[in-house]
Structure 1
Amino acid sequence: MDDKAKTGLQHVPSSAVLSLHSTRSGIIARGRHDAASAASNPHYRQAIADYNAGSFAEAANSFRLAAEQGHAESQYILSTMYDSGQGLPQDSTQAALWERKAAEQGHAYAQANLSFRFYTANDFAEAFAWCQRAAHSNLAWAQYNLGLMYRKGEGVEQSDTDAAYWYRLAATQDFPEAQQKLADLYCIGLGVPLNYAQAAQWYRRAADQGNAEAQFQLGQLYATGQGVEHDYTQSRHWIRQAALQGHKQALRELKRREYRDP
């Protein structure tokens, strides 16, 4: 349950299939008015059709035409295509340029990716500033990343209370890593009151989504009867689920318990 062990910040690439009316578009458009909307920009519409048909070079060309007209979603997607070298040569400089243009228009995914770019360059102050903007657009993985930065004091004064606040916002959107981190805080009473029952509830929600650390920690709570009734069968089940994903502590724990298993 150590946030300082690794960065853990998340970077989410563009979807393999694009839609003119996706849930993502609804999130990123919050508080922003495109110069040319998704419904009316012909270059963007053509780019979507080409992309979904697998014609990535043609899609990239149309996204660029729309991006040059100030279309934020096209700027963002073009940046991801430059990052991955999809339909055009891989170019991190061009990726950063178009990502920045979209981010400055309030595109939450671009803001979060720009934050990640600054983070990997160890510019934590800029990373925090852009992550905060994306988090305020209700983007769950940006909220999670912001929680991590508050927890570790990167780009901002360390605050477990603020970390818990942002983890909770992401957790209530069913973001499993945030659910697991929030449960960790309840287990040790940092930023929130010590509460094993709350910890167990959040671990369970993350565990049900396949989060290995949450599965292991839930198994431990069942083993000790903290926050849940002591149940060896449930404890073994969840530790085994974590072990199946290669969780090292779970693998060691299963080996230690072998004599008790049927």
Structure 2
Amino acid sequence: MMMVKTNELLRKGEVLFLSYQLEEAYAIFSELAQEEEPRAMYFIGELYWQGFGLASVNHVMAYEWYKKGAKLGDPLCQLCTLLHMELDSKKDSKDEKIQEKISDLLPTLENMAKAGDAFAQYELASVYVGKSGITIHHHSSTHWMQLAASQGHYGAMSELVKSAYADKRFDDAFVWCDKLAHMGRVHAMYSLSTLYKEGLGCDKSEQQAAIWLEKAATAGYAKAQVELAVYYEKQEDEDSALFWYEKAAEQGVLSAQVEVAYAYMGTTVVAANHEKACYWANQAAKQGSRDGKFLLAQCYWEGLGVDMNHALADNLLTELANTQEADIVYSVARMYAKYGVEEKAQTYMIQAAELGSKEAKTIIATNYETK
């Protein structure tokens, strides 16, 4: 009776997993794993390996779960431990017996796949595509991947999208992208938007492209957030553009941080907010952005959003000038000239000219003629 209940719970967890209801699936698999159910350990490993439904990807934790399941005899866990042997500090990932052990597992995996196990079909397809060093069998790989995808395995669907893109089979790419997008996969939402935008594998539709782009952005996909911000800029909707740039900036997207900093400096119709401008300029500068450093130097020099501090501004400008890039050094010279620091302005203008800046050469020549 206990075995029947375990199997029912396991099946329920698998259905939830395939439906992308991952928190509910994880709860079931965790309960089953505590009861030493090895198949559940495979799914927990998968959730950690991909970061599905969890805070972040954790390959080490995933591997530990695969190992637990493998010791209890689960074939999928056994395969995954062999595929990711580099994570085992006690074993040599270059062990020649690994491929032999994988080959020994293939008959069992084939039987599971033939019986309709979508997860065995997916793992078998991954092996046959050359993932493990086993001789590549493209036909077998495609066969099992398609069967797994037809049962709703989103990993298999994603692989089919990749191969369809690579082969420029956009009709197939659209079919699988559409399924994944409706399952809530953000990468697929973004890709589907692109397919609609370009009319690849479907009728071109700017409306559908915008709908799926916004869905991907709302789901937190940073690349979609930036693209949506650009879209609103073209529509001259600066408030919406800033909203999405700021969302992407919060995720650490450098270009978005710079855009937000510029916007809050009052360079657009958005009301100036120098404290926010300084904050985002600083975030961008920390990532090495030259625009961020210039904006931050301006904030410190003029006391915009921060206490005026010429020493910090000077440090930033010196750091920029040390790049020895003509355009950058020229901009440093212009900024010093703007703030009336003539000696440094002249020094860096000459340096910029020597580095090949046409603008610097013109200014120096003009000043010489004036004298």
User: TM-score of the superposition, structure 1-length normalised?
Assistant: 0.67
Shift of 1:96: 2.3
Q: Give the equivalent residue in structure 2 for 1:72.
A: 118
Confirm or deny that 1:132 pairs with 2:132: no
Greater helix share, 1 or 2? 2
When structure 1 is superposed on structure 2, of 80-89 and 96-105 the one drifting more is: 80-89
Match for 1:47 among 71, 75, 83? Answer: 75
Distance 1:137 1:235, change over 3 A: closer
The 5 A counterparts of 1:1-262 are: 26=16, 28-29=18-19, 46-50=74-78, 51-52=80-81, 54=84, 57=99, 58=101, 61=106, 62-86=108-132, 88-189=134-235, 194-223=236-265, 224-227=267-270, 229=272, 231=274, 233-234=278-279, 236-237=281-282, 239-240=284-285, 243=288, 255=328, 257-259=331-333, 260=335
Which structure: larger Rg? 2
Given that 2:126 and 2:141 are in contact with CA atoms closer than 8 Å, whether structure 1 keeps it comes out as yes
Give the residue type in structure 1 aligned to 2:250: D
Distance 1:207 1:24, change over 3 A: farther
Q: Distance in 2 between matches of 1:93 and 1:228?
A: 59
Q: Distance in 1 between matches of 2:331 and 2:109?
A: 56
Distance 1:63 1:200, change over 3 A: farther
Shift of 1:49: 2.6
Which protein has greater RCO, CA pairs closer than 8 Å, 6+ apart?
Answer: 1
Distance 1:64 1:171, change over 3 A: farther
Q: Deviations over 1:201-245 (max 9, x none)?
A: 222222222334433433443452454635453463355366559
Shift of 1:163: 1.4
Q: Give the equivalent residue in structure 2 for 1:5.
A: none
Q: Distance in 2 between matches of 1:257 and 1:239?
A: 18
Q: Distance in 1 between matches of 2:197 and 2:255?
A: 18
Q: Distance in 1 between matches of 2:261 and 2:246?
A: 10
- Note the residue ranges of structure 1 that are not aligned, 5 or more in a row: 1-19, 32-37, 246-250
- Note the residue ranges of structure 2 that are not aligned, 5 or more in a row: 1-9, 22-28, 43-68, 86-97, 291-319, 340-371
Identity across matched positions, percent: 25
Distance 1:86 1:158, change over 3 A: same
Q: Give the equivalent residue in structure 2 for 1:35.
A: none
SS at match of 1:138: coil
Given that 2:189 and 2:213 are in contact with CA atoms closer than 8 Å, whether structure 1 keeps it comes out as yes
Given that 1:151 and 1:160 are in contact with CA atoms closer than 8 Å, whether structure 2 keeps it comes out as yes
Q: CA RMSD in A?
A: 4.0
User: TM-score of the superposition, structure 2-length normalised?
Assistant: 0.50
SS at match of 1:156: coil
Given that 1:199 and 1:227 are in contact with CA atoms closer than 8 Å, whether structure 2 keeps it comes out as no
Q: Deviations over 1:57-101 (max 9, x none)?
A: 556635444222211122223333444522633444433222211
Distance 1:90 1:211, change over 3 A: farther
Shift of 1:165: 1.0
Given that 2:238 and 2:268 are in contact with CA atoms closer than 8 Å, whether structure 1 keeps it comes out as no
Shift of 1:132: 0.8
Distance 1:71 1:174, change over 3 A: same
Shift of 1:184: 1.9
Q: Distance in 2 between matches of 1:222 and 1:93?
A: 56
Q: Deviations over 1:109-150 (max 9, x none)?
A: 322321221121112122112211111111111111101111
Q: Distance in 2 between matches of 1:71 and 1:100?
A: 13
Q: What number of residue pairs does the alignment pair up?
A: 226
